Amino acid sequence: MAIILGRMDNQGPLPFKYYPIWDNSEEFRKLISKVWAQKVTCSPHFVWETKLKILRKEVKTWARENEKQNKKRRVELIKKMDNLQEAKENKYEDKQDYLQEMNFFGKYTEKIEKKKKRRD
């Protein structure tokens, strides 16, 4: 087995996608601990590879389920935002203030979408 401590440009395919936001998820940490605690006996290299394969499968499943939950939450939050926005629109006396805020929100949303596209 060789351990290379320098930077390598092509290290092959990643075992799974990893998003830093998952660090905040207690479920994700428990999943990692559960998979890594499984007993696999053989050479260290085989143990490492086997655990990564198991982890990959588990992370993919967890990510799909997590994404479904996030989509539901996103829809709920959008509904709440729409209700708040409607209430806010009714509050504005001056339509210019409303238009300025909508312009700002549109630019902010575009930035988020651009970042999202770059990440994918």
Distance CA 17, CA 25 (A): 15
Q: For the residues 102-114, what does the mean pLDDT come to? A: 76
Residue 30 has pLDDT above 90, yes or no: yes
Output the pLDDT for position 20: 79
Q: Tell me if 16 sits within 8 A of 59, measured CB to CB.
A: yes
- Give pLDDT tens digits for 35-94: 999 998 889 899 988 998 899 899 889 888 888 887 888 888 888 888 888 877 777 666
Q: Tell me if 31 sits within 8 A of 54, measured CB to CB.
A: no
Q: For the residues 86-115, what does the mean pLDDT come to? A: 74
Instruction: Specify the length of the chain in residues.
Output: 120
Domain ranges across the chain? 56-101
Ramachandran assignment for 47, one of left (phi > 0), alpha (psi -120 to 50 degrees), beta (any other): alpha
